[in-house]
Structure 1
Amino acid sequence: MTTHQENRMTTLELPPRAADSGLTAATVLDQVRAYAAGLPASAPEVERTGRIPAGLLDGLKATGLLRAALPPALGGVELTAPQLTRAVDLLAKGDASVGWCAAVALNAALAVVSLPAEVFAELYPDPDLITATVLPPLGRAVRSGDGYLLTGRWTHVSGITHADRVLAGFLTPDGTPRIAVLDAAHVRILDTWHTTGLRGTGSHDIEVTDLHVPARHTFAPPPAGGGRQQPLHLRADNLALKMAGIPLGIARSALTCARELLTARGPVLPRPSAPAELAHAEALIGAADAYVYTTLDRAWAAQAAGRAPERGTAALARQFAHRACREAVQHLYDLAGSAAVYTERTPLDRCLRDIITAGRHIASAEGILDAVGTLRLGGDPASPHL
């Protein structure tokens, strides 16, 4: 158990913020692609240690992706939702845990939507600071001076072992939900993340007791506090869209591995149907890819034109990607036979465990089907993930 408990936001000695980072969407994606190509070599260490090592974090920051959802005035690039998803997709192919943590870190943009610019700059003096996010209001607060005394325990805090900031949901004394931006050094990390998949995300529980949080470091859940009108920040679900890249990247990794295994065996295949099974898995991944990116492109075009995209479609595509890609990875795992279980020889076992674990996330779980189906039949589901 790691304990850090203070009542002030840590002052970081960082270089001045540059209003224009010089990055573009194209350079960020190129740098992410190059970085992701080297991730498979480090994946066993990430899984074994249950965290992303400092060297990989430095490399991730160097790509520019962590600032990619921020506006240029704050040192960011403000990629489109399809571009953010593609970046996560590329990372997840190299290592699902790195892709997952990078996707979560992008949620710092939730704060820029709702906080005054000067407060965001105070909290994020460096646009590459890493954020962990737990939005459910599991904390409780009482009023204290200019803010709150916050107490609570939050679960599944992905990336907390290397995070600089935490977005943590809580209830005010009158029961209103808000989100606090906490210094990660002030939370207690509980060693709870002992899982089959996504081990490297270090998604442990955290807790705080009577931690003073200034009111200016809190905001209402999006979209209630939104003040920006750029397409990326118009809708509360835009930053959830990128999570569709996780199953796509994992499945691509499994497909590449299975193809290499079968090619190495030459004409002596495990069974006569092996080529057809490989092609079937490829078709499943391709269908998920087309559904996700076509849907994202249409939704983005609608928002850029000032129209609301069809509600529920992106969530349905994301859930389908998890279902189809999990089926594809299972096919590929079975196709590889006993070779699939040797983790030092192939990533197939890790791919299967990772995609199963990723599919438990509420934004992609089976409940999405019920919510979208209810919506299509004239109901109004309360899910925030539609």
Structure 2
Amino acid sequence: MSPETVAALTLAGFPAYFVPRRWGGTEGDFATLLAAVAEVGEACASAAWCAGLWAAHSRFGAYLPLEGQRDLWGVSPNVRISTGLAPHRARAARTANGDWSVSGEWDCVSGIDSAQWVLLAATVSEGAEEQGAVRVFAVPYADVEVVDSWRSTGLCGTGSNSVVLQPTSVPGRRSFALADMLAGRAGEGASRCHAVPAQLVGGLIFSAPAVGAARAALHAWTGWAAPKAAESDAASRGPLNRCLARSSAEIEAAVLMLAEAARRADAEPVTRLGVARNHRDAAVVADLLVTAVERLFRTGGLHARDGEGTLQRCWRDVHTVASHAVLQFEEAAAHYAGAALTP
């Protein structure tokens, strides 16, 4: 993304959205965030993706001890944070003074070139009590090496490159257990936005950019179809009518599902079934949007294949969003069935 876009997203308040109020943050709700991310996505799904993740990552940062939070937000809450939470090629070991030595490689670190801090997950390789556990470490952007590896067909502007960290000393105050974040164990007195399991809200934030991209695709398709319909008789307008009605309804249904899932995340008691339901609905939202945009793309005439066209860009972006592991329906279905069929 251009520096101007990064500055605009920061000024709009996305990086500070879930920052604790003690540091000047918003501690916002999920419904407002998802609507804002979707709105940004109507112009650029890549910008929306980074906006939503910068907000989500400030929520993760709130799991740090207070002194670690101060390192991030002591000067300003408007700090852009990227994450690498797949610890497969990363290791951490306690040092003699109680700090950590962390090293590794992480792929698909979205927005990394515009980040100021990075949260990196690593498996503890030494120490009887924590060996094998996964911890998250806050590392300044200046400490990591960015590898230009992002070659995706969609979400091209997210710059989701790889990150390498040579053995680096990380103070103990800049670390927390990944399991606490996944389970929503934020500690006594934590705000609602911090004390929810990751699976209750993660898929919602991932799918919101696709809502905006689908709306943009519908708008582009309608601009192409309107004059075509005006020149056609009633019989030949049938395919256009069916495509418009079906795809617009699927997009609106996805919006309604996402809004209801956000309401549950903001207000309902957190239950195993509720978490599984939101996971399920985020995957269904992604499927609805792919189906709707695929139909628009296939009926959109030659202009839809134009590499510079809005419809093709949105088609690529929606498919790329839907390919994220969190939005795969098979896993979401198993999660939901496991909760719904358990007495």
Instruction: With the length of structure 2 as denominator, give the TM-score of the two structures.
Output: 0.88
1:234 aligns to what? 195
Of residues 132, 150, 154, the one that matches 1:197 is 154
1:5 aligns to what? none
Q: Distance in 2 between matches of 1:68 and 1:309?
A: 27
Contact 1:187 1:208 survives alignment (8 Å): yes
Q: Distance in 2 between matches of 1:267 and 1:198?
A: 34
The 1:233/1:83 distance shift into structure 2, 3 A limit, reads same
Q: Which has the higher helix share?
A: 2
Contact 1:137 1:169 survives alignment (8 Å): yes
Tell me how far 1:84 sits from its aligned partner: 1.2
Contact 2:150 2:159 survives alignment (8 Å): yes
Q: Distance in 2 between matches of 1:278 and 1:266?
A: 11
Deviating above 6 A after TM superposition, structure 1's stretches of 4 or more consecutive aligned residues are 306-309
Which residue identity does 2:242 align to in structure 1?
Answer: A
Contact 2:109 2:161 survives alignment (8 Å): yes
Which residue identity does 2:304 align to in structure 1?
Answer: A
Tell me how far 1:285 sits from its aligned partner: 0.7
Q: Distance in 1 between matches of 2:227 and 2:142?
A: 49
Q: Distance in 2 between matches of 1:116 and 1:192?
A: 33
Counterpart mapping for 1:259-270 below 5 A: 259-268=222-231
Q: Distance in 2 between matches of 1:111 and 1:296?
A: 18
Contact 2:92 2:103 survives alignment (8 Å): yes
Contact 2:72 2:79 survives alignment (8 Å): no
Q: Secondary structure at the match of 1:137?
A: coil
Moved more, 201-210 or 134-143: 134-143
1:337 matched to 2:304? The reply is no
2:82 aligns to what? 132
Contact 2:272 2:339 survives alignment (8 Å): no
Tell me how far 1:225 sits from its aligned partner: 5.3
1:276 matched to 2:242? The reply is yes
2:45 aligns to what? 96
Q: Distance in 2 between matches of 1:298 and 1:211?
A: 40
Q: Distance in 2 between matches of 1:281 and 1:297?
A: 25
1:159 matched to 2:122? The reply is no
Tell me how far 1:141 sits from its aligned partner: 1.4
Q: Distance in 1 between matches of 2:100 and 2:173?
A: 10
2:93 aligns to what? 142
1:294 matched to 2:260? The reply is yes
Identity, % of aligned positions: 26
1:115 matched to 2:76? The reply is no
The 1:363/1:148 distance shift into structure 2, 3 A limit, reads same
Of residues 137, 146, 155, the one that matches 1:180 is 137
1:370 matched to 2:334? The reply is yes
Contact 1:219 1:225 survives alignment (8 Å): no
Q: Distance in 2 between matches of 1:150 and 1:112?
A: 18
Tell me how far 1:307 sits from its aligned partner: 7.5
Q: Distance in 2 between matches of 1:263 and 1:244?
A: 29
Over residues 290-320 of structure 1, what are the superposed CA-to-partner deviations in whole Å (9 max), with x where a residue is unaligned?
11212321342214xx888723111111111
Q: Distance in 1 between matches of 2:255 and 2:141?
A: 35
Over residues 216-241 of structure 1, what are the superposed CA-to-partner deviations in whole Å (9 max), with x where a residue is unaligned?
11111214751243211111225513
Of residues 306, 311, 315, the one that matches 2:279 is 315
Q: Distance in 1 between matches of 2:92 and 2:293?
A: 44
Q: Distance in 2 between matches of 1:266 and 1:324?
A: 25
Across the aligned residues of Structure 1 and Structure 2, the Cα RMSD in angstroms comes to 2.1
Contact 1:147 1:212 survives alignment (8 Å): yes
Moved more, 153-162 or 307-316: 307-316
Task: Could you tell me which runs of 5 or more consecutive residues in structure 2 were left unpaired when the two chains were aligned.
Answer: none
The 1:244/1:330 distance shift into structure 2, 3 A limit, reads same
2:321 aligns to what? 358
Q: Distance in 2 between matches of 1:370 and 1:206?
A: 32
2:7 aligns to what? 58
Contact 2:149 2:161 survives alignment (8 Å): yes
1:84 aligns to what? 33
Contact 2:197 2:275 survives alignment (8 Å): no
Tell me how far 1:375 sits from its aligned partner: 2.6
Q: Distance in 2 between matches of 1:82 and 1:278?
A: 27
1:215 matched to 2:179? The reply is no
Task: Could you tell me which runs of 5 or more consecutive residues in structure 1 were left unpaired when the two chains were aligned.
Answer: 1-51, 380-386
Over residues 93-139 of structure 1, what are the superposed CA-to-partner deviations in whole Å (9 max), with x where a residue is unaligned?
11010011111111333344322333212223321111111222231
Q: Distance in 2 between matches of 1:72 and 1:308?
A: 29
Moved more, 175-184 or 231-240: 231-240
Q: Distance in 1 between matches of 2:312 and 2:38?
A: 19
Q: Secondary structure at the match of 1:232?
A: coil
Q: Secondary structure at the match of 2:135?
A: strand
Q: How many residues align?
A: 325
The 1:298/1:141 distance shift into structure 2, 3 A limit, reads closer
Q: Secondary structure at the match of 1:181?
A: strand
Q: Distance in 1 between matches of 2:109 and 2:115?
A: 10
Contact 1:82 1:242 survives alignment (8 Å): no
